[in-house]
């Protein structure tokens, strides 16, 4: 499917807006005026699979939030891709380079055809001024993500690659289907060969 009819596009956009507002409403309640302010920023973007959103060395100002699809961050170390994170529905990131105004150490690319919101600090500041509620929202989100991230890191440190794989199998089973194995391997901190072996080992155990 290369083209979509206009009406399907607009239905799609409405769906995405709903997804976003539903998500936000679990943190703060928005008035119609506030919803309108968000929409007027025109932050919805359709991105094709394989698109590179951020390259190493680049000084981007964009933060991303995934409404549909999947994006990943990865480093290229000694010519090898090292995937460090996947972001799927209702997850977002503000790249390190945006916060620290330094060239990026990593890449961000689109694992699937995706729909994202794209924002920059300028837009944020503007809307924070008009509606302080959005700053509360961003603070709550950051704090929650920070705590969640810490737990993730803790789990990673305190478990073996095999346990990590079983953990993902439980908590984000979709990832295993959506994502190439070699990307998943570095996400688990191991080589693709080790992931293959590890899976074979698990299957052998369950027989």
Footprint of its own copies on this chain (CB under 8 A)? 73, 75, 77, 82, 84-85, 93-96, 98-100, 105-106, 128, 132, 135-136, 138-139, 142-154, 156-158, 186-187, 189
For DNA, the binding residue among 28, 159, 196, 202 (CB under 7 A) is 196
135 contact choice in DNA, its own copies, none (CB below 5 to 8 Å, kind-dependent): its own copies
10 Å CB burial of residue 142 (0-12, 13-18, 19+) is exposed
Helix boundaries (H) for the chain: 6-25, 32-40, 96-100, 121-130, 132-157, 161-171, 173-178, 181-187, 192-205
For DNA, the binding residue among 161, 168, 175, 178 (CB under 7 A) is 161
Distance CA 53, CA 118 (A): 10
Contacts 24+ apart (CB under 8 A), 157-162: 161/188, 161/189, 161/190, 161/194, 161/195, 161/198, 162/198, 162/201, 162/202
194 contact choice in its own copies, DNA, none (CB below 5 to 8 Å, kind-dependent): DNA
For DNA, the binding residue among 193, 202, 206, 207 (CB under 7 A) is 193
Is 194 an interacting residue with respect to DNA (CB under 7 A)? yes
199 contact choice in DNA, its own copies, none (CB below 5 to 8 Å, kind-dependent): DNA
Nearer to its own copies, 12 or 27 (CB): 27
Binding site for DNA (CB under 7 A): 160-162, 180-182, 189-201
């Amino acid at each position: 499917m290369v083209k979509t009819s206009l009406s399907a596009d607009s239905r799609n956009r409405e769906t995405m807006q709903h997804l976003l507002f539903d998500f936000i409403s679990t943190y703060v309640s928005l008035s119609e005026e506030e919803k309108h302010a968000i929409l007027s920023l025109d932050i919805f973007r359709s991105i094709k699979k394989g698109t590179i959103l951020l390259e190493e060395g680049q000084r981007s100002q964009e933060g991303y939030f995934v409404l549909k699809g999947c994006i990943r961050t990865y480093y290229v170390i000694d010519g090898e891709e090292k995937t460090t994170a996947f972001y799927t529905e209702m997850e977002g990131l503000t790249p390190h380079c945006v916060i620290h105004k330094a060239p990026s150490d990593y890449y961000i690319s689109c694992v699937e055809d995706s729909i994202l919101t794209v924002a920059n600090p300028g837009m944020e500041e503007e809307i924070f001024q008009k509606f302080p509620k959005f700053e509360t929202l961003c603070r709550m989100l950051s704090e929650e993500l920070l705590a969640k991230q810490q737990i993730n890191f803790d789990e990673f440190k305190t478990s073996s690659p095999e346990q990590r794989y079983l953990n993902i199998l439980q908590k984000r089973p979709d990832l295993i289907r959506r994502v190439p194995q070699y990307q998943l391997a570095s996400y688990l901190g191991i080589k693709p060969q080790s992931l293959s072996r590890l899976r074979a080992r698990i299957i052998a155990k369950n027989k």
